[in-house]
Amino acid sequence: MLVELVKDGKLVCAVVDRPEGKKNWIAIDQYGNSHSVKPGKVRYVVPDVETFKPEDIVEFLKQTEAIQDLSLIEIAWHELVESEEKSISSKKLAKVLFGDVSHVEYYATHCMLSSKQVFFRRKQKGPVVFYEPRSSAEVQELQHQYNVEETARMELVNFINMVKSALAQSHDSKPSPTSWSSEKFALARVEALQEFALDAFADETQKNLAKEVLEALGQQKSPESALDVLIGIGILPFHVNVELLKSKIPTAFSDEHIAAAKLLEEEPCLDQNKDSRVDLTAMKVYTIDSDSTEEIDDGLSATELPDGRVKIWIHIADPTRWVEPEHIIEREAKHRGTTVYLPEKTIPMFPMNLATGPMSLRQNTECCAVSVSVILDKDGSIAESSVCSSVIKPSMRLSYDSATELIMYQLDEERELNLLAKAARLRYEWRLSQQGAVDLSTRQIEVKVTNPDSFEPEIKLQVIDMTSPSGQLVSEMMILCGEAIAAYGNEKILALPYRGQSDMAVEMNCTKPLQHSSLGLPGYVQFTSPIRRYSDLLAHYQVKAALRKKSPPLSSSQLEAAIMLANLKTKEARKLGNASSRYWLIEYLRRRPRDELYEASVVRVKDGQVVVSIKEVGLHTSVSTNVKLEAGDAVRVIVAAANPRKDILDVELVEVLNTEDALDNVVAA
């Protein structure tokens, strides 16, 4: 007996071989597979088959497929509708369609009736199956539905073929991303893939569309596969910053914001501190920052008083002179919270025409600033301090390296810079030796990527050593400014974002200064980056109102709420920046020769797991080894595997540098 049965959701032809138990049967398909068949799973018994071998099924299926013609079913439907006959069996219909019939024609008719249930409705009474012709209205509706489904199927087939073609092409030959948006069908599926790949909360419709595409491509139905497809067809660049896309951080300003920023540049708002601005343009002002920095927030000046003490001026950019509270540009800065620095791009808090233009402390240009002057006692503590609105004219822009070089040379013509460096050393010693501060200066690796959308962008590393003379100078002056502003706020009973730290727990208070143990200060306010940090901008609004002897725009509770939001934005930006830097540093290592040696130091040893820091890139990673190591040990490692997309960095220990019994060419466990 030859039957059609349902197995794992699919139709299978098989020959009934023998009974199994009281009710079931064993049937064998064309591949020799045995199936335990319940009577209810048998969909069709092929008539006129007495003896049949499983190996004959393949030829039988070919014969039935060859004679199938769905137009015959439509003809039969017309005839049956016009007749008085209300139903017909598939066996009788086979005789109508083919005349002389055998098991081949019977099964072909059954397949045609099953494949397109447009013209007939399947009915069953007990073991008897028969078909009723549908009404003309039903047929018309079902044909329309079928045509829609068939059109969608063909569109999907065409789309999948386009995707496969793009996947097969080289990186430089792939279609442009815009080419996928020319047709609604393709655009909807590309957008669905993007939502599925990047948004954990994508709606079910988007997810289902994306999974349909992935299934048709034979890919796993996962966000990772969706991302691979988007990269493979050229929608996203090979090194796309996935975390940036997931973060929803705006990477561009709207036309409305750009227009508003341009208007502010052309028609500045009223300078509310104009009458009290002090002209400091005759003062020599240094700005020191990394080469890539475009938003210059701070400048430094110094003079030596007759009694030998040093008077320091810390000039901070004054963006609040250009943007008033609740202006559209200020509200957007609040929304962004901070400038985001990534190896491949900078996402500014303010539109760049303002951030690098009138707001920035540009060399040889008169700039509005908030200037903090401090006279240091001979031990490094603050003897006197004051705050004023000012106009300055920065004299010299320096990189950290060039500033260090000038400090080392001790040139007479750069006497002011030497005074600043001397004051920085004095402050450093005072904070650490007398105030119990912790030395937080580090050696930072700055990653810069050129042409990030290309297949192999250029990656450059720059070491910014904050323990260098220039690094110490800038760091100490910014800390000094924060202490002076906290003192000013305390004197004026001014709501400011006072930051503190006790027992390594960070605290914040908007009503009075807090002891900051790690900095060794009685109070501290971040104030030196108002172009780049919204919390600093808020502090400027508060301080400048006090300078005008006006009430501050925000109460302590309002300020606290605004600072909490800004801190969340800053935390998100820092996390994104760290993840992006790690990606590019791993990619940098991936490109290097596999046998290249890297110096590293042991950071931590716990439960047999050794964590090392690779000096050249500043990355931490674990290494398994049977060599006994301690924190602080110097070693050499090689990179065994590096995959930035999967955040994989595997290293192997090669040599221990500072252990007496160290063996060269140690094999990692």
On whether both 357 and 502 belong to a single domain, the answer is: yes
Instruction: State CA 583 to chain mean position distance.
Output: 11
Predicted local distance difference test score (pLDDT) of residue 362: 97
Q: Are residues 290 and 380 in the same domain?
A: yes
The last residue of a domain, from among 545, 563, 581: 563
The one-letter code for the residue type at 79 is E
Average pLDDT over residues 242-254: 94
Q: What's the pLDDT tens digit per position in 321-335?
A: 999 999 999 999 999
364 and 283 share one domain:
yes
Whether 432 has a pLDDT exceeding 60, the answer reads: yes
Do 308 and 184 lie in one domain? The reply is no
Q: Token pair for residue 376?
A: 């240091």
Helix (H) or strand (E) holding 204: helix 204-216
Give a yes or no: residue 613 inside a domain. yes
**Burial label, 660 (beta-carbon count in 10 A; 0-12, 13-18, 19+):** exposed
> Quick one: pLDDT at residue 451?
96
What is the C-alpha to C-alpha distance for residues 549 and 551, in angstroms, rounded to an integer? Answer: 7
Mean pLDDT of 109-120: 86
Average pLDDT, integer, range 141-159: 90
Tokens of 105: 């024609």
* Residue at 371 is within a domain: yes
Pairwise CA distance, residues 342 & 241, whole Å: 10
Token pair recorded at residue 197: 């790949």
Q: What is the mean pLDDT of residues 54-73?
A: 92
Top pLDDT among 665 and 478 is at 478
What is the model's pLDDT at position 664?
40
Quote the CA–CA distance of 254 and 250 in Å, as a whole number. Answer: 9
Can you give the pLDDT at residue 660? 45
Give pLDDT, residue 8. Answer: 82
pLDDT value of position 123: 86
pLDDT per residue over 530-574, tens digit each? Answer: 999 999 999 999 999 999 999 999 999 999 999 999 999 999 999
Residue with more model confidence, 53 or 663: 53
Distances from the Cα of 614 to the Cα of 137, 578, 600, 663, angstroms: 75, 16, 4, 20
pLDDT in tens, 395-409: 999 999 999 999 999
Kindly report the number of other CB atoms within 10 A of residue 271's CB atom.
14
What is the rounded average pLDDT for all residues in the chain?
92
The C-alpha atoms of residue 421 and residue 301 are separated, in whole angstroms, by: 11
Pairing of strands 498-502, 458-465: unpaired
| pLDDT score of 43 | 86
Residues 481 and 556 in one domain: yes
Please return the burial class of 362, using the count of CB atoms within 10 Å of its CB with bins 0-12, 13-18 and 19+: middle
d(CA 531, CA 296) in angstroms, rounded, equals 8
What does the pLDDT look like over 487-540, one tens digit per residue? Answer: 999 999 999 999 998 765 677 788 888 889 899 999 999 999 999 999 999 999
For residue 650, give the CATH number of its domain: 2.40.50.140
In the predicted structure, residue 233 carries a pLDDT above the cut 90: yes
Q: What percent of the chain has pLDDT over 70?
A: 98
Arithmetic mean of pLDDT, 124-130? 78
As to burial, measured by CB atoms within 10 angstroms (0-12 exposed, 13-18 middle, 19+ buried), residue 293 is middle
State whether 629 and 497 are in the same domain.
Answer: no
CA atoms within 13 A on the CB side of 290: 14
* CA-CA-CA-CA torsion sign (93, 96, 100, 105): negative
The two three-digit tokens of residue 201, written as one number: 């909360």
Q: Is residue 397 part of a domain?
A: yes
Q: How large a percentage of the chain has pLDDT more than 90?
A: 72
Secondary structure of 145-192 as H, E, C letters: HHHHHHHHHHHHHHHHHHHHHHHHCCHHHCCCHHHHHCCHHHHHHHHH
Backbone angles phi, psi at 129, to 5 degrees: -110, 135
Q: Are 68 and 111 in contact (CB under 8 A)?
A: yes
Domain boundary among 220, 236, 252: 236
Burial per residue of 12-27, b for 16 or more beta-carbon CB atoms within 10 angstroms, e otherwise: bbbbbeeeeeeeebbb
Please tell me whether residues 355 and 475 are part of one structural domain. Answer: yes
Higher pLDDT, 628 or 200: 628
Residue 55 lies in a domain: no
153 with 227, same domain: the answer is: yes
**363 and 415 within one domain:** yes
Q: What share of the chain is helix, strand, coil (3-state, %, to 5)?
A: 40, 25, 35
Question: Cα separation of 152 and 253, whole Å?
Answer: 38
For residues 71-80, average pLDDT = 88
Residue 385: DSSP 8-state: E
Q: Is the pTM of this model over 0.85?
A: no
Instruction: Fill in the DSSP letter of residue 411.
Output: -
- Give the angle subtended at the CA of 219 by the CAs of 217 and 223, to the nearest 5°: 120
Q: Please, which residues bridge with residue 443 across strands?
A: 465
Give residue 658's pLDDT: 66
Select the more confidently predicted residue: 535 or 115: 535
pLDDT, tens only, 349-392: 999 999 999 999 999 999 999 999 999 999 999 999 999 999 99
Are residues 445 and 463 in contact, defined by beta-carbon separation less than 8 angstroms? Answer: yes
User: Based on the structure, what is the number of domains in the chain?
Assistant: 3
What was the pLDDT predicted at 358? Answer: 98
In a domain, 334, yes or no: yes
- Does 488 lie in the same domain as 369? yes
Q: Is the pLDDT of residue 667 over 50?
A: no
Q: Is residue 54 part of a domain?
A: no
What count of other Cβ atoms lies within 10 Å of the Cβ of residue 242?
19
Q: How far apart are CA 540 and CA 621, in angstroms?
A: 41
**Do the bridges between strand 278-279 and strand 382-392 make them parallel or antiparallel, or are there none, so unpaired?**
parallel
What pLDDT is attached to residue 504?
58
Same domain, 155 and 295: no
C-alpha–C-alpha distance, residues 506 and 517, integer Å: 10
Q: What is the pLDDT of residue 114?
A: 85
Residue 53: both structure tokens together: 């071998």
Q: Which domain holds residue 637?
A: 592-656
Which of the two residues, 370 and 30, has the higher pLDDT score? 370
Q: Is 77 helix (H, G, I), strand (E, B) or coil?
A: helix
CA-angle at 641, arms to 639 and 646, nearest 5°: 130
* 254 found inside a domain: no
Q: Same domain, yes or no, for 425 and 298?
A: yes
**Cβ atoms 533, 497 nearer than 8 A:** no
Least Cα distance to 444 among 458, 462, 430 occurs for 462
Q: Each residue of 179-197: pLDDT tens digit?
A: 998 889 999 999 999 999 9
> pLDDT tens, 638-663?
999 999 999 999 999 999 986 544 33
Angle between the N-to-C axes of helices 556-591 and 534-547, in degrees from 0 to 180, rounded to the nearest 10: 140
In a domain, 614, yes or no: yes
From residue 633, give the alpha-carbon distance in Å to each of 120, 333, 601, 630.
82, 45, 6, 6
Question: Cβ distance 650 to 621 under 8 Å?
Answer: yes
**8 Å CB contact between 524 and 482:** yes
Indicate the residue among 202, 236, 270 that finishes a domain.
Answer: 236
